[in-house]
Amino acid sequence: MTGPVGFVGLGAIGAPMARRLLDWPDGLFVYDVAPEPLAEFVRAGAKVATSVAELAAAVGGAGTVCVMVRDDDQVRDVLAEILGAASPGLVVAIHSTVAPETPARLAELSARSGVRVIDAPVSGSTIGAANGTLAILVGGADDAYAAAADVLARMGTRVIHAGPIGAGTRMKVARNLLHFVSFTAVAEAQRLAEAAGIDLVELGHVVRHTDAITGGPGAIMYRDSTAQLAPEDPWHGIFAHVRALGEKDLGLAVGMAERLGVDVPLARYSLANLARALGLPPDVPDSTDEPAEGTA
């Protein structure tokens, strides 16, 4: 753990991330365009920079600058200021979720100044940021990742070196696809439940309770491939069982929706595609009727 740390962007997630670095041995420099979060960090003992350039110069070539701003344009603007004042060797960790191609372009641009860029988007929202339990998904060269690893470990309990530059962002995009498609499925299930006279608040309690037990959608994410399962694969029988239960329950949901006049396009798509999604051909039978471990 050598060199100071800089943190740019003290918003809803950036501020609690930066708080985890307040006792960093070589000092924490912070910057934000809003004065309110800066005042808090002054009281906590951090050094406040008057600009991104001043922060980059203060951190120097032995340190790390974390960037958590809103979008690609803001990331590019911040990096341009950093490169105007940075020393060779500096590592810039981009925590913002940007377009998958952006990190490689920024890394190429930064390399001309001897600055190393890693993309390190986070998953876990404000709760994980406050508790220091984020998942941090890193793409970048081995030496740049190693230089920033201790900083990242202060902010997350699952820090993944996903691969070369851009790999962390690609992983975050895939993770968030699941997140927001699930939100859409929630709305569909709520519409069906509401039409059926079900208390939506109680349904929410049930979903959170059982997902905490089973792991929710992540319960089936243990394979290292999406290829069709071979009959001798240990997962074949498990997923065949999951498929049988899923198609039965999805069929019940679609049938109930038809009777109540509720549109459930995600349920219909899932019923038609569950077998393929699980890596099974369409004719795999399963006669059991008890839930598989790890499924709802």
Number of domains in the chain: 2
Q: What is the pLDDT of residue 291?
A: 46
- Annotated catalytic residue, options 172, 238, 267, 274: 172
List pLDDT tens digits, range 30-57.
999 999 999 999 999 999 999 999 999 9
What is the rounded CA–CA span in Å between residue 183 and residue 186? 5
130 and 246 share a domain?
no
* 44 in any annotated domain: yes
141 and 229 together in one domain: no
Are residues 213 and 144 part of one domain? no
Kindly report the pTM of this predicted structure: 0.91
Residue 82 domain flag: yes
State the pLDDT at residue 2.
Answer: 73
State pLDDT tens for residues 230-272. 999 999 999 999 999 999 999 999 999 999 999 999 999 999 9
Q: Which CATH number does the domain housing residue 128 bear?
A: 3.40.50.720
Question: For residue 176, is it within any domain?
Answer: no
| Residue 287: band (very low, low, confident or very high) from pLDDT cuts 50, 70, 90 | very low
Q: 47 catalytic, yes or no? A: no
Provide the CB-side half-sphere exposure for 49 (13 A, CA). 26
Report the 3 state secondary structure along 214-280.
Answer: HCHHHHHCCCCCCCCCCCCCHHHHHHHHHHHHHHHHHHHHHHHHHHHCCCCHHHHHHHHHHHHHCCC
User: How many whole angstroms separate alpha carbon 56 and alpha carbon 133?
Assistant: 27
